[in-house]
């Protein structure tokens, strides 16, 4: 009987802790975001259309989550011919795979910054990745910044070798405001 009472009390305590834990702040993505990529030589550009939901609490990153989507057709390399080529079936195949998606699984403090573990889906391939980022808040506004690399052949983008580097560097800056 004592074990049952102790087990019930422990369960009720855990439920109370999680039920009353503060929720992460919901953030609205502002219009001045920047998603830049470079891949060696003259290969590089930006994605112009980005949306998603961000709930983040810098004091309790475990309660946070991201669900982000990039529109592949919004890629802009600064060269119309290269834009057409990168959207083609050989590279990102914007018709068949119109979105790049990232969904977080875990967010944690990593020194003075943070690390998010989640599923990155590009070109129909989903891989778990760990991405470092910083968060700088100023009142009701803040900015998320991160720099990381992605292996294009892990996502079956292009053919191995050639003028485009195997690893594509991504630099992301996302200003947000509290909802």
Tell whether 54 is covered by a domain.
yes
Tell whether 73 is covered by a domain.
yes
Q: What is the CATH number of the domain that holds 105?
A: 2.40.128.110
Tell whether 15 is covered by a domain.
no
Tell whether 171 is covered by a domain.
yes
Confidence (pTM): 0.85
Tell whether 41 is covered by a domain.
yes
Q: What is the pLDDT of residues 122-146, one digit of tens each?
A: 999 999 999 999 999 999 999 999 9
Tell whether 105 is covered by a domain.
yes
Q: How far is the C-alpha of 162 from the C-alpha of 170, rounded, in Å? A: 19
* Residue 69, domain extent: 24-178
How many domains would you assign to the chain? 1
User: Tokens standing for 63?
Assistant: 């309660």
Regions of the chain where pLDDT drops below 70:
1-22
Closest by CA position to 60, among listed 20, 15, 103: 20
Tell whether 3 is covered by a domain.
no
Closest by CA position to 52, among listed 100, 118, 110, 9: 100
Cβ atoms of residues 119 and 103 within 8 Å: yes
User: Tokens standing for 43?
Assistant: 């290969």
**Secondary structure element (H or E) that encloses residue 167, with its range:** strand 167-178
pLDDT at 22: 60
Tell whether 8 is covered by a domain.
no
Cβ atoms of residues 143 and 177 within 8 Å: no
DSSP 65-108: EEEEEEEGGGEE-S-HHHHHHHHSTTTT-TTT--EEEEEEEEEE
Q: What is the DSSP letter of 60?
A: -
């Amino acid at each position: 009987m004592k074990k049952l009472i102790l087990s019930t009390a422990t369960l009720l305590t855990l439920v109370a802790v999680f039920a009353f834990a503060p929720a992460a702040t919901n953030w609205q993505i502002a219009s001045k975001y920047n998603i830049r990529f470079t891949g060696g030589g003259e290969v590089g550009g930006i994605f112009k259309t980005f949306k998603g939901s961000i709930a983040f609490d810098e004091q309790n990153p475990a309660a946070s989550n991201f669900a982000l989507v990039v529109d592949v057709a919004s890629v802009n390399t600064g060269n119309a011919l290269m834009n057409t080529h990168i959207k083609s079936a050989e590279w990102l195949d914007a018709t068949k795979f119109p979105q790049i998606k990232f969904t977080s699984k875990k967010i944690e403090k990593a020194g003075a910054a943070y690390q998010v573990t989640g599923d990155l889906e590009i070109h129909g391939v989903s891989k778990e990745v760990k991405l470092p980022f910083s968060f700088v808040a100023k009142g009701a506004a803040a900015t998320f910044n991160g720099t990381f690399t992605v292996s294009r052949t892990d996502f079956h983008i292009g053919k191995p070798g050639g003028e485009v580097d195997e690893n594509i560097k991504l630099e992301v800056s996302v200003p947000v405001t509290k909802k």
